[in-house]
Each structure stands twice: as C-alpha cells, then as structure tokens.
Amino acid sequence: MPDKPTRDPLSRRAFLTSAALAAAAVTPAMTAQQAAVNEKALAARNAAAESAQPDSMFPPETDAGGQPPFKYPFALSRRRIETGGWTRQVTVRELPIAKKMAGVEMRLVRGGVRELHWHVGAEWAFMTAGSARITAVDHQGRAFVEDVSKGDVWLFPGGIPHSIQGLGDDGCQFVLVFNDGNFNEFQTFLLTDWMHHTPRSVLAKNFNVTESTFDKVPDRELFIFARDLPRPLDEEKKEVYAGTGAVPDSFAFFASRMEPAKSTAGGSVKVIDRKNFPATNIAAAIVTLKPGGLRELHWHPNEDEWQYYVSGHGRMTVFAAAGHARTMDFEAGDVGYIEQSMPHYIENTGNEDLVFLEVFPTPEYQDISLAEWLAHTPSRLVDQHIATGEDFLRAISKTESVIDPV
C-alpha cells in the first residue's frame, strides 16, 4: 500500500457524473476513437436500462468482486390487473438474496377491495397515495377498523384475517412487506375461495341456516374487486366492536402525523418499531434525504434490511467483506435488500428529495454507525488502523448523526 492515495479514488465517478451521461462512456484511459466505438456498442444494447444504472456501467473504483444484484425494480414484475385495482410482487423468486422478506405494490380504485384474507406471515404496510379503510379481527374476536392515509403504516400479524378498501378520490396505493421471503400474494387464504371449496351442507350446518343462503357465493375468487364505499367509520366501528370490543393494540400507526426521530440538514428519519407501535413485530425507518444528503455508513446487527424507494434517485454501496463491494442505483419503485450486518450507505444523487423505507423482520430497530463506532473506541487504537490523526477521531460527534450533513 502506498503511504498516501495518489488521487481521490472516486475522481473517475466525479468525472463521469459531472459530464452528461450520454458522454459518460469516455474514460480517461480511452482514445476518442475507442470511445466512439464504445458508444456504438452501447447504443445497440438496452440503452434506457443502462443509462439508469450508472454505477453498474461505470462503477466507482472502490467497487470490487462479484456481488449479485441486491435490487429488483417492481417495473419488472408482472402486474395482475383487476377491475378494482392491480398488484405485483417481489419475492425471493425474483430477488434470490431476499430470503427473509417479500414485498407487494398494490393499487385499489375508489371502492376497490382487496378481498378478506389472511396468510402465514405478518404484513407491514406503507401508504404511498390516497386513503383506505382497513379491517381485521384477532384470535379473541376483537375487532379493528380504521382509515389510513398517505404516509401511514399498518401491521397485520401472521394468520390474522384482514381487508383493504380504497377510499380516496383516486383510491389508494401502498406497499406491503412480509416477514417471509417465500410469500406469494396470489396464494393467500381468501374468504370466497374457502367458501367455494366447502360443501354447502357443511356451511348450512356451521351457521344453522338453509343451504340456499349460500347460493350467491362466487364460484371463483374475487381477490381484488370494486364495490360501494364502506359506511361511515364510526358506524362500522360500533358494529364490529359488539360483544368483544376492539383489539388492545391498534394495527394502524399514523406515521404521517409523527415527528421525525432525527432531523438534520441532510434530511430526516422516522423510526417505527415496538417502542412506539406495540402491535408490530416488523421494525421500520422512513428516511428522507435532501439532495446531496447521505444516510451515513452503518449496518444492522440484528436482521436483514428490505428497502423500498418511494421517490427520488440515489445510490447505495454494500460492502460484503473479503474485498467485495458493489454500488447500485435506485429510484422510485425499486426494492433493495441488505443481508444482516453488511455495512452500507445511501446517497441522494438526484435533484429532489429521496424517500425510502428500511424494513426489518424484527420488533426492534437497531443500527451501528461507522462514526458512532469510531467515536467510542480508543482514538489511539483507531488511529493505528486508519492513520487519520487523533484530532479527527476526537472530533467525531459522540451521538449518532444518522443522516449527513448534520
């Protein structure tokens, strides 16, 4: 190793991003003729996809090794489109490293219903547009019905039956995250599917009514379908609480009305875990980075991280030990995934706010930042490793910045 770096290892990237991307195929080592040939070769490929991945096309020189992709755009998923809305998913089948969590994007038109259903894993949700009426019943028959809006969150524990209905003028859209990489949105337990596959005589006996009561049960699943809007919320609450009352811990969390846990010049973060949302067994952070803002170098000691990019543009480098590091670009609608304890940062590379979700299949949010680690380790020892001088080390804030600049 030379004593001092001879040049900024990121200078090539700085060069590339400062020029228009169309001209980015020219690197300092190339002759103009080589660059022209290179441009032609690129033009023959999927130019739109390639220009959207500048950090794969022209990786920072600090990248090395062969990490497989840790990103999957929802845009590559097949949409199931129904009259009441649409849905698509990213699971371990699409993104093989996403072993512990899967995600779904769903839109419901005004009045559109995601059929009453349940599944083995827990469902965490973030509303990205509009508003919705959500319902559930717990194992003691206690009821839940609530209205949520853009920026709000819900959690349905595994096995708890629930529904979602679009309310806003333009319905709603949301992202669902499941603590099960193998989750399949098209293989959930549906009310209509179950009824259809139960003998009428058994249904009649179960409810002590005549078989004709069930004449109009649909002969195929509804899944997503459009109907009239629900009754007023207070009226429906009163109806469903009869006899058993409400669930003790609400399944809704009004994150849209929550103050950020941390706010800096670079952006802000809301942390939602069991400490402020007792019903949840899935922890999350909603991060907003202003242009140029950085979600500082950190890792999560307790679980894998599933990400969803809500808006804006950014990049993330994941360091995978043994000299492996890879940078990938992210934009609205992309899923990212970081395995437990792998360090990473996220940088806003666009001109507008970058908003993304960090979701963890554990009740408690935990992270360790590089700065926090170094600030609380003897400065002589750290200096013996990285030769920055102890003044730099002693000046690192003793409290975690989370988002830079502070």
| Catalytic residue, candidates 259, 358, 364, 400 | 358
The Cα–Cα gap between 115 and 398 comes to: 50
Could you tell me which of 81, 284, 18, 47 has the C-alpha nearest to residue 177? 284
CB contact at 8 A, 132 and 238 = no
Closest to Mn ion by CB, 74 vs 183, is: 183
Query: Taking the complex as a whole, how short is the minimal distance between the CB of residue 80 and Mn ion, in angstroms?
Result: 14
3-class SS of residue 47:
helix
Closest to Mn ion by CB, 50 vs 82, is: 82
The Cα–Cα gap between 19 and 36 comes to: 16
Query: Taking the complex as a whole, how short is the minimal distance between the CB of residue 224 and Mn ion, in angstroms?
Result: 12
Count the Cβ atoms, other than its own, within 10 Å of residue 1.
Answer: 4
Q: Rule CB under 5 A: which of 303-322 touch Mn ion?
A: 305
Size of the site for Mn ion (CB under 5 A): 2
Query: Taking the complex as a whole, how short is the minimal distance between the CB of residue 285 and Mn ion, in angstroms?
Result: 8
Phi then psi dihedrals of residue 130, to 5 deg: 70, -155
H/E stretch holding 55 reads helix 54-57
Q: Is 94 in the site for Mn ion (CB under 5 A)?
A: no
Query: Taking the complex as a whole, how short is the minimal distance between the CB of residue 338 and Mn ion, in angstroms?
Result: 6
Q: Rule CB under 5 A: which of 62-81 touch Mn ion?
A: none
Closest to Mn ion by CB, 123 vs 152, is: 123
From residue 173, alpha-carbon distances to 64, 74, 85, 128, 167 in Å are 38, 14, 9, 6, 11
Closest to Mn ion by CB, 24 vs 287, is: 287
Q: Is 115 a catalytic residue?
A: no
Query: Taking the complex as a whole, how short is the minimal distance between the CB of residue 121 and Mn ion, in angstroms?
Result: 9
Q: Is 123 in the site for Mn ion (CB under 5 A)?
A: yes
Sketch the per residue contact string, 128 through 167, with Mn ion: x for CB under 5 A, - otherwise.
Answer: ----------------------------------------
Query: Taking the complex as a whole, how short is the minimal distance between the CB of residue 204 and Mn ion, in angstroms?
Result: 29
The tokens describing 128, both together, are: 């990205």
| Listed ranges 26-34, 87-95, 258-266, 302-310: which one lies at the site for Mn ion (CB under 5 A) | 302-310
From residue 77, alpha-carbon distances to 60, 99, 121, 207 in Å are 29, 18, 21, 41
Q: Is 180 in the site for Mn ion (CB under 5 A)?
A: no
Of all residues in the shown chain, the one whose CB is closest to Mn ion is: 123
From residue 37, alpha-carbon distances to 16, 52, 55, 370 in Å are 18, 21, 21, 42
Closest to Mn ion by CB, 17 vs 184, is: 184
| Interacting residues with Mn ion (CB under 5 A) | 123, 305
Residues designated as active site: 358
